[in-house]
């Protein structure tokens, strides 16, 4: 091996935790923090930490903190928050549930579960840019619709959905709207109150916080039923002893993002644009940026090399010291084609040849450019091999 360089470009799978976040959790663990449900001093101190974190997170996401306060339910992450939203808002009711075709598997899978339980689940399509078809969606909203769940931004392409427009459509018919904000929170400004959504999911390990913690922010007055039972914590909506140190870590990570957000957004956009133009300025091979015709997250590139098999390319890149992915982490390792690119109507070769490259605050321009050049080299090598193999 000629080099031992490693470049991590799979930040949509997970981001490296910040040292300051580890430190805040360490301090909390070592302070002898109690169970926030206990009435004694150790419990009261734990509750104080927990409620302070809750208030800060609400504030940063612009939830309503006092008077008709919105509710922040801590969960084990994005998957649980999405499950809680889809099941908790529909429980005890029957009717239609609308999601999009490009949702994360945690929403798709929960919607499948609801369909098996007798709900009328409708999956709305997207345009070739990956944006939800608003007309189709509006046409699907009927009297019996109990919930719409539409992601804020896609984890494979980074495409940002027109949520405010969707919220207006839903509000007209008084239909609850949940949004999976897992890839958006801690990356772009999320203003919960002005968005008009009923609930928002997020997850700390996507914004340089600890894994295993996230939340569902629920608008004041919206009833969400539990999916776990047997305790009184978090008003019985999510029973179980709250994990105070990890909540403190999530809060710290979000605060650090908030304090630097303009700078970070500029940094990530800069990395992404430099990466994409490096790939596209080379005539050979052809590189297609999926979703490039619309507004995207600053840190996500879905790149297709038609004629290349993404699994083979990913293996070659791993050997070369570049970590990126085939789509969502849940789908990587398997050879399932991207449901997101399929829903966008991409050609089969574009779907087969698509990799996802996602940036984080730790990435440097120089390593990103190096990675782009290395990817081009690998693609050319693979193409040459194919030509060679095709020869009789």
Binding mask 58-87 for ligand PLP (x = CB under 6 A): -------------------xxx--x-----
Nearest distance in Å: CB 39, ligand PLP: 32
Query: Pick from 100, 183, 267, 358: which binds ligand PLP (CB under 6 A)?
Result: 183
At residue 189, φ and ψ (nearest 5 deg) are -65, 125
Name the helix (H) or strand (E) containing 270: helix 244-280
Output 210 or 353, the one with its CB closest to ligand PLP.
Answer: 210
340, 130 contact by CB (below 8 A):
yes
Nearest distance in Å: CB 325, ligand PLP: 10
Output 183 or 378, the one with its CB closest to ligand PLP.
Answer: 183
Nearest distance in Å: CB 299, ligand PLP: 12
For residue 325, which of 157, 98, 186 has the smallest C-alpha distance? 157
Q: List the catalytic residue out of 324, 330, 346, 386.
A: 330
Which residues are 378's β-sheet partners? none
Rg (CA), the chain: 22
Report the alpha-carbon distance of residue 334 to residue 164 in Å, rounded: 35
Output 24 or 325, the one with its CB closest to ligand PLP.
Answer: 325
Task: Determine the size of the site formed for ligand PLP (CB under 6 A).
Answer: 15
Nearest distance in Å: CB 261, ligand PLP: 19
Residue 301 interacts with ligand PLP (CB under 6 A)? no
Output 77 or 245, the one with its CB closest to ligand PLP.
Answer: 77
Question: Which residue has its beta carbon closest to ligand PLP?
Answer: 78
Measured over the CA atoms of residue 64, residue 66, residue 67 and residue 70, the dihedral's sign is positive
Nearest distance in Å: CB 79, ligand PLP: 3
At residue 250, φ and ψ (nearest 5 deg) are -60, -45
Report the alpha-carbon distance of residue 14 to residue 330 in Å, rounded: 12
Question: Which residues, at least 6 apart from 26, have a Cβ–Cβ distance to it below 8 Å?
Answer: none
Query: Pick from 328, 352, 358, 363: which binds ligand PLP (CB under 6 A)?
Result: 328
Query: 198-217: which residues touch ligand PLP (CB under 6 A)?
Result: 203, 214
Output 192 or 305, the one with its CB closest to ligand PLP.
Answer: 192
The pairing of beta strand 354-358 with beta strand 322-323:
unpaired
Nearest distance in Å: CB 330, ligand PLP: 7
Query: 214-273: which residues touch ligand PLP (CB under 6 A)?
Result: 214
Question: Which residues, at least 6 apart from 63, have a Cβ–Cβ distance to it below 8 Å?
Answer: 57, 69, 70, 72, 192, 193, 217
Query: Pick from 70, 180, 242, 367: which binds ligand PLP (CB under 6 A)?
Result: 180
Tokens of 40: 């004694």
Q: Answer yes or no: 324 catalytic.
A: no
Which residues are 266's β-sheet partners? none
Query: 139-158: which residues touch ligand PLP (CB under 6 A)?
Result: 151, 155
Query: 87-106: which residues touch ligand PLP (CB under 6 A)?
Result: 104, 106
Report the alpha-carbon distance of residue 99 to residue 181 in Å, rounded: 14
Nearest distance in Å: CB 281, ligand PLP: 29
DSSP 215: E
157, 35 contact by CB (below 8 A):
no
**Catalytic amino acids?**
330
Binding site for ligand PLP (CB under 6 A): 77-79, 82, 104, 106, 151, 155, 180, 182-183, 203, 214, 328-329
């Amino acid at each position: 091996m000629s080099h031992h360089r490693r470049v991590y470009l799979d930040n949509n799978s997970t981001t490296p935790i910040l040292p300051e976040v580890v430190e805040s959790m360490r301090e909390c663990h070592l302070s002898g923090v109690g169970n926030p449900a206990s009435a004694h001093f150790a419990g009261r101190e734990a509750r104080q930490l927990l409620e302070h974190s809750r208030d800060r997170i609400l504030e940063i996401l612009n939830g309503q903190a006092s008077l008709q306060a919105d509710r922040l339910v801590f969960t084990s992450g994005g998957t649980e928050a999405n499950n809680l939203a889809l099941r908790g808002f529909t429980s005890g009711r029957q009717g239609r549930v609308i999601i999009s075709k490009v949702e994360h598997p945690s929403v798709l899978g929960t919607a499948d579960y609801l369909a098996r339980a007798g709900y009328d689940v409708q999956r709305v399509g997207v345009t070739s840019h990956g944006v939800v078809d608003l007309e189709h969606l509006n046409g699907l909203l009927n009297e019996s619709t109990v919930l719409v769940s539409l992601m804020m931004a896609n984890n494979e392409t980074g495409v940002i959905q027109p949520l405010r427009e969707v919220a207006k459509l839903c509000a007209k018919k008084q239909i609850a709207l949940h949004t999976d904000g897992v890839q958006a929170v801690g990356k772009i400004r999320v203003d919960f109150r002005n968005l008009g959504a009923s609930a928002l999911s997020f997850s700390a390990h996507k914004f340089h916080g600890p894994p295993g913690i996230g939340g569902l922010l629920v608008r004041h007055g919206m009833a969400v039923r539990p999916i776990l039972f047997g305790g009184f914590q978090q008003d019985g909506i999510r029973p179980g002893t709250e994990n105070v140190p990890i909540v403190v870590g999530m809060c710290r990570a979000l605060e650090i993002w908030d304090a630097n957000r303009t700078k970070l957004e500029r940094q990530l956009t800069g990395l992404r644009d430099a990466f994409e133009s490096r790939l596209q300025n080379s005539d050979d091979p052809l590189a297609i940026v999926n979703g490039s015709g619309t507004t995207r997250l600053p840190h996500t590139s879905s790149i297709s090399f038609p004629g290349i098999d993404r699994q083979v390319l990913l293996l070659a890149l791993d050997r070369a010291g570049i970590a990126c992915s085939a789509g969502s982490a849940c789908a990587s390792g398997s050879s399932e084609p991207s449901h997101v690119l399929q829903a966008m109507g991409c050609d089969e070769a574009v779907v087969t040849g698509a990799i996802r490259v996602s940036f984080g605050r730790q990435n440097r321009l120089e390593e990103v450019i190096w990675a782009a050049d290395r990817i081009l080299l690998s693609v050319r090598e693979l193409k040459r091999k194919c030509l060679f193999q095709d020869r009789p």
